[in-house]
Amino acid sequence: MRASIAGLGLVIILGLAVPAARANAAPVELTLAFAGDIMGHEVNYRMADFHDIYRGVQDVLQADDLSFANLELPLDPFRPSSGYPWFNGTLPYLAAAVDAGFNLFSLANNHAFDGGMEGVLQTIRALEAARRASARPFAYSGTRGNPARPFDITPLTVKGVRVGFLALSQFLNEQDGGRYVHVVDYSQPAQTQPFLDWIRSVAPLYDLLIVSYHGDREYVQTPSPSKRAFFRALLDAGVHIVVGHHPHVVQGFEVVERGGVRRLAMYSMGNFVSGMTWMLAPSQLDGVLAATGESYLLQVRVRCRPGGCTVAGAAPIPIANYNDPHSQVRVARLQDLADGTVAVSAAWRSYYAGRLERMKEFLGVQ
């Protein structure tokens, strides 16, 4: 899946409503960054300092107003950390992601109920504590602590712009009957139609509406036709940006025009942090295993003026996981790994140079 408009100068016009209070105000710019899955395999928990994971990209995340990631693990401090198949993270693991700059988290994914009800409740408590301590706007979505309360859009205000955020998943590994995790299966019209009707009714309440969706087939770099149709239906219903994950590989992004405005769909952002390629060798240049060790950050600039908002640019930054000299998994720009900015062996430099070219071709960028 290639970006529908190639290059880094992509312009997306969202046509967002601007609150009346800003009718005579100067233009407002928002900067957004979208990443993929933050996972927690056993090798990830061996870091001496979890902050080291993000040092290669935190300049991007800390400069943005909102930086999104899918948090694909519960955070129950009363259980030990664990990786595949039943994930559980730690509070320091979350703190490192927040300190790196992430402040918009999806909690809805197939591993959200790995720790049962208590895992959901403890994760909410951890994110709520992080929100209270944050000096920046901060939001999370996708689970609920009280099954009697409806799933709803999480509102936040960023520089006077009304932002709505919603996260949902296609399925769970451990079924909870939709009690605690927001599940909408795009392959089931009986679920999707009422959901789309609801989105259409609430979208006008927000200047910018962002939906995170976890679903589709794993390890496939082309979105299924039914998922693509669902994402486009979300855009039809008034969503401005849809960000997808779960395949663990990149599926690209596209811009489509709806109602005279242009809206953005990211079908899968791939793995942002994982241990899937811990044992990868530089000779394994092609194949699915290599693809699970990389993704991209999509930087999006949104400019709001009276009567509407425009995304003034969307630039993908290819990134990859790599092993540092202590066999700890970190994240870095693919360019930095390929040109020697990050110290890796000659064999690995060659590997990352090859992967960078493949990623650029896939995304349709120079």
How many Å apart are CA 5 and CA 305, to the nearest integer? Answer: 24
- Predicted TM-score (pTM) of the model is 0.92
Distances (CA, A) of 258 to 16, 229, 237: 12, 14, 9
> Pairing state of beta strands 241-245 and 208-214?
parallel
Q: What homologous superfamily does CATH list for 10-363?
A: Metallo-dependent phosphatases (3.60.21.10)
Segment holding 295, helix H or strand E: strand 294-305
Q: Which amino acid is it at 210? A: I
**pLDDT for position 13:** 29
Residue 238: phi, psi to the nearest 5? 120, 0
How many Å apart are CA 295 and CA 249, to the nearest integer? Answer: 7
Start-to-end CA distance of the chain, whole Å, equals 16
**pLDDT for position 301:** 85
How many Å apart are CA 112 and CA 245, to the nearest integer? Answer: 14
**pLDDT for position 9:** 32
DSSP letter string over 154-184? EEEEETTEEEEEEEEES--SS--TTSSB-B-
The pLDDT averaged over each successive group of 10 residues in the chain (366 residues) is 33 36 71 97 96 98 97 97 96 98 98 95 98 96 96 94 95 85 96 98 92 98 97 93 97 82 91 96 96 96 70 90 95 98 97 97 88
How many Å apart are CA 320 and CA 100, to the nearest integer? Answer: 16
How many residues appear in the chain?
Answer: 366
Tokens of 56: 């290669």
Q: Which amino acid is it at 175? A: Q
Segment holding 271, helix H or strand E: strand 271-273
H-assigned helices in the chain: 58-63, 91-100, 116-133, 189-202, 225-236, 288-291, 334-339, 346-363
**pLDDT for position 198:** 98
How many Å apart are CA 256 and CA 361, to the nearest integer? Answer: 21
How many Å apart are CA 208 and CA 155, to the nearest integer? Answer: 10
